[in-house]
Structure formats: C-alpha cells, structure tokens
A and B are shown apart, each in its own frame.
Chain A
Amino acid sequence: MLAEARWPEDGDGRAPALPGFVHSEFAPLVAAVAERCLARRYGSGPLPAGNRTAVLVVSASGDTAGAAHVRATVAAGGRVGPLFFFQSVPNSVAGHVAARWGLDGPVVCLSPTGDPRAEAEAEAELLRHDGDAAQALLILIELAPDGTPGEATAVLLGEGTRQ
C-alpha cells in the first residue's frame, strides 16, 4: 500500500463543494478523499503520462441523494437540471479525479456483493496482473441513509510510480 486516507478524519467537517457537482455529498466526498490520499504520496500532482493508475470507485448504494432528487423531480413532472445528467454515474467524479491527477489507467466502478475493500483489492490486483494498470486508487464510498454526510476511504496500491 502506497497511501491511505479517510474522510472524515479528525477535525473534518463536510467535504468541500466540488464545482460542477450539485445537491449530493457523493462526488465531493470522492474528490476530497482521493485528493488527500494522492497528496500524501505525490504532493500536488499531477502524475506523468503513462502512469497507468486505475481509478476504482466502489459503492453499494451509489449516489442515493442525487438519484432520489432526480426520481422525485421526474415523478412530479418536473425538469431536472443539466448538471444532474453529468453526475448521473460514478464515472463522472472518477473522471474528475483522473483528470486532476493525470491518472490514465482504467476507470472501473463496482457495486460490491461482498466485502467492499476485498472486492476493490481483487479488481486492482487483476488490472495490475493483466497489465492495464500499474497501480490503482481505490475509493470506497457510502452516503449515510439519513442525509447526514457519509464516509469515504481511499487507498493507493501498486508499485509506486514516481512523480
């Protein structure tokens, strides 16, 4: 393991707002925990091209807050805002993290059927064995069901691509 981070850690409040992402804590939490994890290994980034760092987002329930807002708006006959389209899949914030840090390995999102970390680590191991990835940033994220902020963990695994 090259680095690990959580959100929240001691002293943390809500994750900072993320431009372009609205209404839900999902994307801000992913971005904040990824930033903290990668900064612990690489400072300010980005990584050089060809780093083959995969981004794996693992969440059983996904962006429940965003999806609930869309469902309620549509059920009421309303129009959803266009930003909800761009954040409608976990890939979007994974792509934000990849673009910010130059992570050019595969992007994979999983909804775990067993232990989330074990599934994420198994996917990372497969991508590295297969050669499409040299290292992998795992992001485990669940929103709290009661509307309070959720929790996220980020883990960087791999051979240690140098900045």
Chain B
Amino acid sequence: MADRDLVRITGTHAVSALGRGADALLAGVLTGAPAFNPVRRFDTTGRRVTVAATLPETGTLADELTDAIDHVVRVAGLGAADRAGAALFLATHGGPPSLPVPDRAPEPTVPALADHLASRCGLGGRTRVYTTACVSASTAVADAAALIRRGDLERVVVAAGYLVEPDQFALFDAGRALAADGAVRPFSAGRTGLLLGDGVAAVVLESADVAARRGAETVATVAGWGRAGDAYHPCQPHPGGDGLARAVEAALRRAGLPLGAVGYVNANATGTAFSDASEAAALRRVFGERAGRFPVSSTKSVHGHALEASGLLELVVTVLALRDGTLPPTAGWLAADPDCPLDVIRDAPRPAASGHALTLNAAFGGANTALLVSAP
C-alpha cells in the first residue's frame, strides 16, 4: 500500500446555511446559488454590510459541535469501544466563547470545550484545540493525518465550528473586509470582499488498517498535506503566493503524485482582491502553464467564509464532490481578472476528470495549508 493510501476519511458531516448534513452541503454547492441573506440573528444597524449565510434555528456552538460529532461517529459506524480510543482535534475561535449564547447558559471556555465535547461524545483519546484563524481546521486535519501515518494515533475525529455572531461580524465590517455589494466573487473582476457564513463540520480520520479491520467504507483518502508561512506581513498574503506554493508542493511531495494528477482545486479564494490574486500566483508558481488547465472553484461564494471552520467545511465539499464525480461552480462571476488566469468553474457544475483534488486555505499571519485528497 502506498503511503498516500494510509489515512482514510470514513465519515463526514456538515452544517451550513445550505442545510444540515453533508448531503445538503453538496447539493447546495452544486446549485451554485449563494446562501446570503439579511442577518436576523443579531442587530446589524450601523454596519456597512448586513448580509451573511446563516442557518435558521441553530443551537449554541457547543451544542452544534456535539451534534456534529455524534452524527459523524454514527455515519462512520463507530461503536462505543471505537469512540473510546479516538482523539478529538477541535478548530474554533480562541478567547471568550462565541455567540450566540443564551444569557443564562454559560458556554465552556475554549480549552474546556474540547474536553466537554469529548466527554459528551464518548471520545477518550487526546484532545487538541487549534485557534490558527482560517487555517485552524485544515491544520488540525494535516496534524491528524501526520500522526496517523506515523503510527501515533489510529483514529481522530476532527471537528470545527463557527456560527456567525456579532463580534466577528463587526470586526470584519470595521476592517472593510466584507463585500460591499453583498456578493462573493472569487477570482472575478470587480470582487469587493468576503461574506461570513455558518459552518460546523466533523470528519473521522482513521488508519487504513483500522478502517479495514472493521470494514469501514472509505469516503476518501488524505493523500498529502502541507503547511507553510509567508514571512511577509501580519495580515496580508505574500503577493507571489510564496507560502501557499510551498504548502502545495509539500502536499504533492507527501502524496507522491505528479502535477498532472491534480484534477480540481477547491480554492481558498475569499473574493478579496489581493488575496485571490496571491492564490492564483501560488498556483501558477507550482503548476506553471498547467495552472490554467485544471478546474478551480471557491465554494465560499455559496456558503460563505466559516473562518476557523472553513478548512473542514471545504474539505467535506471536496471529498463529496470527488465521490459524486461532480465539481461545484463558483458563484458571483462578473468577468475575467488578468491577475487570476485560472480555469474557474462558473455557471454550472463540471464532471470530475481525476480522482485527486487539492483544498487550499490561507489566514492572517501568512499561514497557509494544502490538503490533497483522493477518491477511494
């Protein structure tokens, strides 16, 4: 068995504005219809932008994460004994608990949240909490895969959550990061920024041996991963995509796959002018002219930016798209941008021509990740 086949995804679950469940997420992104609406969860009076992609009737973040973990372990077919040895890697915003929180029901602090979730869901292995902004979840997956491939762990549940709340919304609004025209337009001319979206997701990662021993179905393999920094700026990405390019190269190297194997990229592209151009530059640097010949999309244009959870939500999109054989489109397209010379899927889904795909994420601090996943 090749190294790239050693880490299996055996369960996925997601909650977003597109609905509850991984199937709702896939169906929603394949329509290409943006889920942004006026925010009703809290008061947006005085904000420049007043829309986001939110799911009505959500619970607290702790309750939604508990439900997601319970759901994914059932989907993966894990019994109580299987859960008892499983680690939990959690990706969420650091600091005080995120809203929405009922006034009389204090949420656990972030470090306590992981133990709280593990206890409620019967996961008895180690816990770890990632607060690395928008690469929190993808870093957690990379670390989990590395620990499984090395033989340190057999099974890890990776969970991530962000529910649109007033504090981050106000911060993104104040930073003029939100799309003033109410639409996310990744890689397109005329893009004006990102929009926030709910995202709570969970996946089960297992070693191939353990998954085979219990006869678990493989949704996808995590064939490669990479993490690298730009060393450029506290908040802006390197204009040439330096760190992201090195993350992609590391993922390809670990997977032992040639450039031509990659048949789809689920891009980080937030719809932000300089950030999308930086990502396009990274892909050009790694793939050269080939970068314009494989399909790319950013489903943030449909489900919004789920911040710390975005890497896991988009991983679920990517593996389900590969399994379905259909690649999701990018919404919001106006016209080509010469700084983003990529084959952006727009208007309608496309059939997948390869079983290997990259999902990319980038964050403040010049943090970059690449996950390379393969259909079973």
Give me the interface of A with B, judged by CB distance under 8 Å.
Answer: 20, 49, 54-55, 59-64, 67-68, 70-71, 73-75, 77, 79-82, 84-86, 88-96, 98-99, 101-113, 119, 123, 126-127, 129-132
Contacts of B110 in A (CB 8 A): 60, 62, 111
Report whether B172 and A85 are in contact in the complex, using a CB–CB cutoff of 8 Å. Answer: yes
Given A59-B131, A92-B365, A95-B366, 17 extra CB contacts under 8 A: A60-B111, A62-B94, A70-B167, A74-B166, A74-B170, A80-B174, A82-B176, A84-B174, A90-B365, A95-B230, A95-B233, A96-B234, A106-B228, A109-B132, A123-B143, A130-B146, A131-B250
Contacts of A84 in B (CB 8 A): 171, 174
Report whether A77 and B45 are in contact in the complex, using a CB–CB cutoff of 8 Å. Answer: yes
Contacts of A64 in B (CB 8 A): 95-96
Report whether A79 and B46 are in contact in the complex, using a CB–CB cutoff of 8 Å. Answer: yes
**The one of B131, B233, B250 that contacts A89, using a Cβ cutoff of 8 Å:** B131
| Cβ proximity bits B85-122 to A, threshold 8 Å, 1 near / 0 not | 00000000111100000000000011100110000000
What's the minimum C-beta distance from A153 to chain B, rounded to whole angstroms?
18
Given contacts A77-B46, A107-B367, contact A132 B133 (CB under 8 A): no
| A84 to B175 Cα, complex, angstroms | 8
What's the minimum C-beta distance from B244 to chain A, rounded to whole angstroms?
12
Contacts of B172 in A (CB 8 A): 85
**The one of B46, B146, B171, B230 that contacts A85, using a Cβ cutoff of 8 Å:** B171
* A-B residue pairs in contact (CB < 8 Å), sample of 30: A59-B131, A60-B110, A62-B95, A63-B95, A68-B96, A71-B167, A75-B166, A77-B43, A77-B46, A79-B174, A82-B175, A86-B175, A88-B171, A89-B93, A89-B363, A89-B364, A93-B234, A95-B234, A95-B364, A98-B232, A99-B232, A104-B228, A104-B246, A106-B139, A108-B227, A109-B130, A109-B132, A110-B131, A113-B127, A132-B226
What's the minimum C-beta distance from B66 to chain A, rounded to whole angstroms?
17
What's the minimum C-beta distance from B76 to chain A, rounded to whole angstroms?
23
**The one of A85, A103, A108 that contacts B139, using a Cβ cutoff of 8 Å:** A108
| A126 to B229 Cα, complex, angstroms | 16
Give me the interface of B with A, judged by CB distance under 8 Å.
Answer: 43, 45-46, 93-96, 109-111, 114-115, 127-133, 135-136, 139, 143, 146-147, 150, 166-168, 170-172, 174-177, 226-235, 242-243, 246, 250, 363-367
| A130 to B267 Cα, complex, angstroms | 24
| A151 to B260 Cα, complex, angstroms | 50
Report whether A94 and B365 are in contact in the complex, using a CB–CB cutoff of 8 Å. Answer: yes
Report whether B96 and A95 are in contact in the complex, using a CB–CB cutoff of 8 Å. Answer: no
| A61 to B112 Cα, complex, angstroms | 11
| A107 to B115 Cα, complex, angstroms | 24
